[in-house]
Structure 1
């Protein structure tokens, strides 16, 4: 018989243990753990190095949340070949010489630990090229030193083909520290952390183009243009809901200077710039972006101080969005207090925080005097939610239900069956459920004077035209096209598709903002007809691949002239190429691919470079030809010509963007021309686009994010007026 005893503790040593010097490799791995906690922390260090190198675009590729692959490419100044042997050694940097330099440091990676730490916990390779080099150089590193890419080869950097700048590739992160690897979260969560880091740096650096995508996937999960501004970048990355409620405030050490300028001779000088939401925006969690001297840091004191400003104007539990950039004299900042430079200390912290919060509070006070209250709108989920109300609701015992717009098709079918059974039991239709669905009902446009009386009868008669017939799908045995068509069908949202199939067009609300009203059943929806049309034309281009009609251009314009018109209005000051070189490059791409464009897309370009025809995606619809120069210009850089599926997919998207009814304003256009164009656009939207959507549109779920919003429900309005 055996008895289990708990594990006994280690007996104390008989005497003092000897002190030993740790092995150099163990020291470096311990130090690496202080710098590189996860793939996102490694990416932060690499982004800072790219920004220090003067990069104007930063491209990141990720696999398995950065644990299998994390690659960052930039177009910065590059690294000299002579410096490559020292690149991954600890405490090697080009930004510090003496200790006193720390008091004047304004760059990011000044301690020379990032690449060294990465080389101790992952497989690191660097490909770099300076402007003066004739070729790029590629080197591999392990444990801080150069290592051969394969056994038997020399560890020296090898020449290779490459562009100006640096590409750093990290593979198999934490392969030699399994404990750290097992402590990481799932790959999706690690990827979201990477996107969060890139989003924050993209907001603070709107003049730099950032992009991030998963390895093996053509689409990008994050993409920002260069030469933008903070507001537009916030709108692109955080959404329109935050953008429309943004406020702006500045504060500085001098009350008379609000231009964000500081006195370099005054060690206590500082300035700040903040973007924050007003009282109309409410979120469950605070989003706080803090940059001090352009370094992403954290400060619980600054965050709490700003949150206290909102405590009086936001409901309990609600939080704002805040972005704050502080520019403080480097002599007053200690940047060397945290291994990852996540925190900094600076002089006069309390006074600076007080001034910043006062500026934010003053701006908020001026906005909250006329606060706008908004109610939550239902999306296209509850098709039968209020139709199944019993007659007991008339006696004040209503039970309101909101259906999930993401419910599956089986649940929606069951609800529809319940609705059919319920309506059979109701002998008399209640007033709040009576719906007018005749196509002859008055629309918004009919309530205004006709702009062109000569075509009034034509417009009236066109209302009697039936919806366009189904557009046949072309036969294509290309695997890439078949996969794109399957992806389109898999993304179908059944309830939204049903709404667009059976809708009643109410009218165009705003052409400039692409807003229209449609009715389905007892609900009224505000839709972005520009987004719906772009998705429609993408599907029409995919459906008719290889069998497009032709829209001839007489006389055919020169593609060089059209591309030059588009390039002339673009800001190319940051590009290393002149405008003439960019035009020549785009034209050469189009001329090289013109046979494929003519055969598969009916986009014919003559030998002399004249555009003879465009693909006709929808009969009776004429795209805005003012967008033709931009369309041709975008075919150069926006289309992935090297991969078949990605090439077709990006071409379809560019065609859809060209065909979508986006308005372009010209200051020299007359009122008569504007009125005629306005009438033509409204007619095409109502009688061509929306009628085509009834038969030939598979509505994707993505349109529910912000492009289709329910703004009214007849039963809900009836209950409101019944209580009055």
Structure 2
């Protein structure tokens, strides 16, 4: 009875709800959400439209990570005025006319959804001009239709001034979808994604000039020339360190034995071959060798010029590096795959980030095999220079004053040595694990003990090796006297470098930024390291030991950061390096300009470039003298250079390049940016790296051998001690410039199994 009463009181089950047609605005915003996920995805669509229009120059301007403003300007063919009314409507395109056109699709966009989707979630403005037009036309869009630029005016396109090409401005992105807006990260992360997209397309399109910058900043974050190669673009965007370790291979369906070299590919018409065979394909890859190790894999994958993602290709490439890279290390890979359009289905994802193609497994396997063969061949030819510092012997921890309840710091230059010539440290002392107040000693196992030996020290290491530019005919000391002979100069000790007193807000801001970016763990490694040896001087690779771990460092990157910080530390109070006789400024700049290939390739007159740079430096020579002690006489002679570190002489062969880069690379328009960029260029002058990556052999001249020997000596006895004392390393150095290669406890675990 009770259950029947309850059923009588419960409401009847609801009936079927009526099916209604969604409003057009709701449909369009749902569709826009599938295409435009964030500012970077909108920019990707716009860049592809510019490339489809045949642009050779693409400029991107961003504000607040692209949420407030995202503008892209190109010099492509433009848009006809008659097409502007339907430009932002869904499924309007110039790429397709029938469904069969999908079989031989050679353009980026084809569905006609990009501009429509953007107009549904932002304020869209288009300014375009074709070569046949006498003026440009400006049109504003909202929800896929033309809208008046101002209230009360007609919505038709308006004539305006403009260059050939198209400028698309996206403002207030996601203003009408607050949920999507709140789900995005900060503006800095969104801008980083935008820079990543621009960089990837710039590498794949090296013949197109790309520029990306924030609103209000004088210098762009991405800037590439219009006439370069893929390797040059990678070097420019990802740095010299990565570019030095790049390998290049090609493969194709017709190549059964292995990768083809560049000479074998000369004269072949790949497009013609693929047009005859639907299963034909070709691939080109630029990838790092075993010397480069990063924490996260960087994969730039383009299939038929589309930037796509493929977990299967990524896993295959990671497998190719197994056994070549250390555990936890990852490579950089750029892969461009060309397949017959009839074998590819690009219409499988709204944003076209995924594609399907025939014979996918066989093609992926073939490319991975070619890359792995190149890696194995390169890794077997590596040569390492090292000193044995890792231990297996017995060592006791140094005596501590635990009875007093506190630890006393040792003098700065005192060696903690014993009669047997051994310098011993325990893991407790290095890592700071044990507290000073512990009553009993903690047992130290063999694999936790660290011993460094001084028995291998040679007589040459006790005396300074003079750099060829330290000879009396070239340089003088600060007091004007000639430098002593090399055999009379003992190994220098790192002297105190006091921070100059500066009241400029810009310098205070830069100094505060250095302190804020400090990474504590990396600072501990650098400050308490033991130098092992230089692995590869041309590639700026060295080994250091900290505690029971061995690290591979890019001492060039660390030196660049050190000398930049030393420049900030001594700003306005530099010592000087006097040049005698003083070289001519114009002559040095002319040498660098003549050696710069990009000047002639861009159609510039070398003499005009030299005149512009010399005029710029001569006009600012008083400022350079006052702040940096870079003295240029009225006759244009370089009299003195700023000294950043005593007993360290920069490679003066880089002086012409340094002076030339002061023109285009230094921002002379803003105070803080000027000081920052100038000190970066000055640090680059001091970095101990050769201008040319040439191996030394029996035929090398004496000057080259002396320079190499002096560079190695300065790296070990001057540079690394200065790093230990003054370098404030940022976290960014951990990304690619500091790699752990060995850990003593882990090695013990391996050998215990034997």
- TM-score, scaled relative to structure 2: 0.70
CA apart distance, 1:483: 0.7
- Choose which of 267, 272, 281 in structure 1 pairs with 2:282: 272
In structure 2, the residue matched to 1:537 is 563
Structure 1 runs not aligned, ≥5 long: 375-385, 390-411
**Residue 416 in structure 1 maps to residue 444 in structure 2:** no
In structure 2, the residue matched to 1:251 is 252
CA apart distance, 1:297: 3.8
1:362-381 to structure 2, matched below 5 A, reads: 364=372
Change (3 A) 1:688 1:414: closer
Secondary structure (helix, strand or coil) at the match of 1:263 reads helix
Q: Distance in 1 between matches of 2:92 and 2:499?
A: 62
Q: Distance in 1 between matches of 2:600 and 2:105?
A: 28
CA apart distance, 1:488: 1.2
Change (3 A) 1:317 1:237: closer
**Residue 648 in structure 1 maps to residue 678 in structure 2:** no
Structure 2 runs not aligned, ≥5 long: 1-8, 383-393, 398-427, 472-483
Pairwise CA RMSD of aligned residues?
5.6
Secondary structure (helix, strand or coil) at the match of 1:534 reads helix
Secondary structure (helix, strand or coil) at the match of 1:420 reads coil
Change (3 A) 1:140 1:368: same
**Residue 360 in structure 1 maps to residue 368 in structure 2:** yes
Kept after mapping to 2: 8 A contact 1:568/1:579 = no
In structure 1, the residue matched to 2:122 is 122
Kept after mapping to 1: 8 A contact 2:31/2:117 = yes
Kept after mapping to 2: 8 A contact 1:65/1:190 = yes
Secondary structure (helix, strand or coil) at the match of 1:106 reads coil
- Choose which of 697, 705, 708 in structure 1 pairs with 2:727: 697
In structure 2, the residue matched to 1:35 is 35
Q: Distance in 2 between matches of 1:509 and 1:681?
A: 13
In structure 2, the residue matched to 1:294 is 305
In structure 2, the residue matched to 1:383 is none
Change (3 A) 1:513 1:81: same
Secondary structure (helix, strand or coil) at the match of 1:325 reads strand
Kept after mapping to 1: 8 A contact 2:326/2:741 = no
Kept after mapping to 2: 8 A contact 1:122/1:174 = yes
In structure 1, the residue matched to 2:643 is 616
Across the two proteins, how many residue pairs are aligned to each other? 676
Kept after mapping to 2: 8 A contact 1:79/1:166 = yes
Q: Deviations over 1:433-476 (max 9, x none)?
A: 464587x96159659999999x9x96566445432222x22222
- Choose which of 253, 259, 263 in structure 1 pairs with 2:272: 263
In structure 1, the residue matched to 2:660 is 633
Change (3 A) 1:134 1:308: same
CA apart distance, 1:158: 6.8
Secondary structure (helix, strand or coil) at the match of 2:276 reads coil
Kept after mapping to 1: 8 A contact 2:293/2:739 = no
Change (3 A) 1:173 1:524: closer
CA apart distance, 1:122: 0.4
CA apart distance, 1:365: 6.7
Kept after mapping to 1: 8 A contact 2:463/2:486 = no
In structure 1, the residue matched to 2:536 is 510
Q: Distance in 2 between matches of 1:96 and 1:222?
A: 33
CA apart distance, 1:661: 1.4
Kept after mapping to 2: 8 A contact 1:61/1:214 = yes
CA apart distance, 1:138: 6.2
Change (3 A) 1:150 1:486: farther
More displaced stretch, 291-300 vs 187-196: 187-196
In structure 2, the residue matched to 1:559 is 586
Q: Distance in 2 between matches of 1:38 and 1:505?
A: 47
Q: Distance in 2 between matches of 1:505 and 1:279?
A: 22
In structure 2, the residue matched to 1:406 is none
In structure 2, the residue matched to 1:404 is none
- Choose which of 533, 541, 547 in structure 1 pairs with 2:573: 547
CA apart distance, 1:172: 1.9
In structure 1, the residue matched to 2:3 is none
CA apart distance, 1:309: 8.8
Q: Distance in 2 between matches of 1:494 and 1:316?
A: 24
Q: Deviations over 1:59-104 (max 9, x none)?
A: 5455555434434455x33636847845843355555677776555
Q: Distance in 2 between matches of 1:147 and 1:95?
A: 25
CA apart distance, 1:327: 2.3
Q: Deviations over 1:242-280 (max 9, x none)?
A: 996968451225869964713265262632215478999
Q: Distance in 2 between matches of 1:506 and 1:592?
A: 46
- Choose which of 491, 504, 509 in structure 1 pairs with 2:517: 491
1:111-510 to structure 2, matched below 5 A, reads: 111-126=111-126, 140-145=140-145, 147=147, 149-151=149-151, 157=158, 159=160, 167-181=167-181, 194=194, 197-198=197-198, 200-208=200-208, 227-229=228-230, 233=234, 237=238, 248-252=249-253, 259=265, 261-263=270-272, 266=276, 268=278, 270-273=280-283, 275=285, 290-297=301-308, 324-330=335-341, 333=344, 335=346, 339-344=350-355, 349-350=358-359, 353-358=361-366, 360-361=368-369, 364=372, 416=432, 418-421=434-437, 425=441, 433=449, 435-436=451-452, 442=457, 446=461, 462-463=489-490, 465-470=492-497, 472-494=498-520, 496-501=522-527, 503=529, 505-510=531-536
Q: Distance in 2 between matches of 1:452 and 1:298?
A: 50
In structure 1, the residue matched to 2:109 is 109
